[in-house]
Structure 1
Amino acid sequence: MTISTPLGELHGLPVFDFPGPDSRVALPDAASVAWRLSAPTYSEPDDEPWEPLFDRFLRTVDAGRVRALVVGGWDEAYENSSAPIVAALIGANDRLTALEAVFLGDMTFEDCEISWIQQSDVTPLLAAYPRLLEFGVRGGSELAFPSIHHAGLRSLVVESGGLGAGVVRGIAGSDLPALENLDLWLGSDEYGGDSTVADLEPLLAGTAFPSLRHLGLRNSHIQDEIAAAVANAPVVARLDRLDLSMGTLTDEGGAALLAGGPLTHLAYLGLSHHYLSKEMRERIIDALTPHGVTVDVDDAQQPDENGGVVYRYVAVAE
């Protein structure tokens, strides 16, 4: 699976692509859309780079009423860090005074493969916008997220083909008292996903994020280990939604979930893109759906075998 379409919505607002300088397209009300600002990643000499595009956006739109921003591509994102983008956004915090949501790196595979996107330390951006409610970032390469405090953030999404252990520890160790939704794509060790269950311990223990209701630990090459850890994790008791999809979950992880603490209070359990047998899928469905839990076990995968070695793959890696 690859990411083939850009975001269509952010913060409950439809995404609108800010047009080029010669466009005659009528612009919507500044507060009515999530503005997508994107420059070509494989740029030509006449293309407008991201930073001049952003300057033109601030001059054109009523910046004080902008509620959501989607940063798409930037010049040669497969080589160039997002640090100048982060700095530009921070420098505009006195103008983007109504900003409540940011997604950084909304690129499809045609723009830049997820594992090629060169990110940076994104936490100064959160510090610069204390009113921010939602933050998302795509790409784990060079991504940094040292532990921070943010009083208002409600949703944090990190999409990667491989998320470094330092990033996972930084997020799990952060003080985010309002956080309701956390979605981490942990990825493959072949693309930098070297985190372990131990790195998630503050999160699983329930000592972090007292408002958390929706938890995604997805796209992981150690999905069975995560399922076993989650099965008896104190944090699960207060969740409404648990998403362990997109990874290499097998019957071992499915059995651990069934043998662990109750899951019948959940509204949703996501397990799609998995390696569960038909029998295990039926056991999970039979155990939970009578209690009103929506269980997603779609997209069953078959492992590859070569020379007696079995290979299982996460949904999104490269």
Structure 2
Amino acid sequence: MSESISQFFIKLENWKFQQFNPQVGIINPETHAYAIEFFPENRSKSMNLETFHTLLQDPRVSQIQALICQIEYENYYNDNVCFGIVLEALCDACEKLPNLKALFIGDAEQHEYRKSKLAVFDIRPILEAFPNLQLLKVRGQFYEYPLECEFLKHENLKTLIIETADIDERNFAQICALKLPNIECIELWLGRGLYHLHNSTFIMDRLIPILFGETFPNLAYLGLRSSEFSDLLAENIVQSPIIERLLVLDLSMGNLSDRGAEALLNCPAINQLHTLNIGNNCVSESMVQRLLQLNCQVIADEQESEVDRGCGASRYSALHE
């Protein structure tokens, strides 16, 4: 998100990052996002929650507005239980965090080109435990456990970011069916798990309520990133009513080709955007130059050829195992 457009959406960067130090305690709960690291204990299926419990005992804990829960894990030993342990501890502490507005929970590492194997248990408990939450960002894989959040309504959430390389059809449908009347910014990383020739219709059917403004009536930032069917997304988005009211359209890190870029270029409403992000895709240099003539900010860096990226036959997105 560019600096000028970010002021319109709530994001973690609205708070200064601060790793929680038990020796210092909570000093600036209104202006800093306090980060807690959760570590597994000796390759076991338990987590060290000591630092988190120390934070909860701080006299200013009730004033915290933003919290970052960074989960460390060891592949094959506990990647399927760590999230659930932290989730339970966090939700049990909800009464101590009445002013929490922004929450990150998930993989401590940001895997730019390698997918996270941290299994996300569910997001429903978070939304139920924190009714005043305005931002939720989750990082991990969304296929090992079925979500239980379909049709769940949350009145105050404004930003939802699902950062993943693996989400299955059922969990994708669950997220699309959330009732979020005040959501303004939604960013979904789609990854490889959704791309099969037989289910592209299923995926677009799940997106229809979003694209037609039925599910998220206040949406102004739509990010459908790391997709393996970016051309199809672009062609459907430009034909939907939502394009008339978006400020930001983010189709980055996928396999958008000149086909999808042409659909964007031929849509007059694209010029009403503040920002169009198609970075890290498969768009040719000549097409990029045409897109740069649009009357909006265009982010189009790090394009690869379709052969190098694998677009076409195998259609790999930017995230690799």
TM-score band, normalised by shorter chain: 0.7 to 0.9
2:216 aligns with: 209
CA change 1:283–1:11 in 2 (3 A) is closer
Instruction: Please give the per-residue CA displacement for 1:84-113, whole angstroms capped at 9, x wherever unaligned.
Output: 222211111111111111111142168xx6
Aligned-partner Cα distance in 2 for 1:97–1:303: 49
Aligned-partner Cα distance in 2 for 1:282–1:305: 20
1:298 aligns with: 301
Structure 1 residue 52, shift from structure 2 partner: 2.9
Whether 2:137 is the aligned partner of 1:130: answer no
Whether 2:58 is the aligned partner of 1:51: answer no
Aligned-partner Cα distance in 2 for 1:107–1:252: 36
1:221 aligns with: 228
Corresponding residue to 1:250 among 220, 241, 257: 257
Q: Secondary structure at the match of 2:18?
A: strand
Aligned-partner Cα distance in 1 for 2:195–2:314: 16
Aligned-partner Cα distance in 2 for 1:138–1:58: 23
1:274 aligns with: 281
2:247 aligns with: 240
Q: Secondary structure at the match of 2:183?
A: coil
TM-score (norm 2): 0.83
Instruction: Please give the per-residue CA displacement for 1:62-92, whole angstroms capped at 9, x wherever unaligned.
Output: 2110111111014545232412222211111
Structure 1 residue 49, shift from structure 2 partner: 3.4
Structure 1 residue 27, shift from structure 2 partner: 4.8
Q: Secondary structure at the match of 1:31?
A: coil
Structure 1 residue 26, shift from structure 2 partner: 6.2
- The amino acid that maps onto 1:37 is I
8 Å CA contact 2:107, 2:116 repeated in 1: no
Aligned-partner Cα distance in 1 for 2:30–2:104: 16
8 Å CA contact 1:115, 1:317 repeated in 2: no
Structure 1 residue 34, shift from structure 2 partner: 0.8
8 Å CA contact 1:219, 1:245 repeated in 2: yes
Q: Judge which range, 164-173 or 130-139, deviates more.
A: 164-173
Aligned-partner Cα distance in 2 for 1:159–1:120: 14
Aligned-partner Cα distance in 1 for 2:245–2:43: 53
TM-score (norm 1): 0.84
Structure 1 residue 303, shift from structure 2 partner: 3.4
- Which blocks of at least 5 consecutive residues in structure 1 are unaligned? 1-8
Instruction: Please give the per-residue CA displacement for 1:239-297, whole angstroms capped at 9, x wherever unaligned.
Output: 111111110000111112223452111000000001111121122222x1xx2x00011
Identity of aligned residues (%): 28
Aligned-partner Cα distance in 2 for 1:128–1:313: 37
Aligned-partner Cα distance in 2 for 1:260–1:99: 40
Pairwise CA RMSD of aligned residues?
2.8
Whether 2:157 is the aligned partner of 1:156: answer no
1:4 aligns with: none
8 Å CA contact 1:223, 1:249 repeated in 2: yes
Corresponding residue to 1:72 among 59, 67, 70: 70
Whether 2:171 is the aligned partner of 1:167: answer yes
- The amino acid that maps onto 2:188 is L
CA change 1:11–1:129 in 2 (3 A) is farther
Structure 1 residue 191, shift from structure 2 partner: 9.6
Aligned-partner Cα distance in 1 for 2:141–2:262: 31
Instruction: Please give the per-residue CA displacement for 1:4-23, whole angstroms capped at 9, x wherever unaligned.
Output: xxxxx82511121123x6xx
Structure 1 residue 31, shift from structure 2 partner: 2.8
2:188 aligns with: 184
Aligned-partner Cα distance in 1 for 2:165–2:301: 21
Instruction: Please give the per-residue CA displacement for 1:173-201, whole angstroms capped at 9, x wherever unaligned.
Output: 22111101000111113899x77222211
Structure 1 residue 130, shift from structure 2 partner: 0.8
Aligned-partner Cα distance in 1 for 2:18–2:36: 9
Aligned-partner Cα distance in 2 for 1:261–1:120: 42
CA change 1:199–1:131 in 2 (3 A) is same
How many residues were matched structurally?
Answer: 297
8 Å CA contact 1:165, 1:199 repeated in 2: no
Aligned-partner Cα distance in 2 for 1:301–1:125: 38
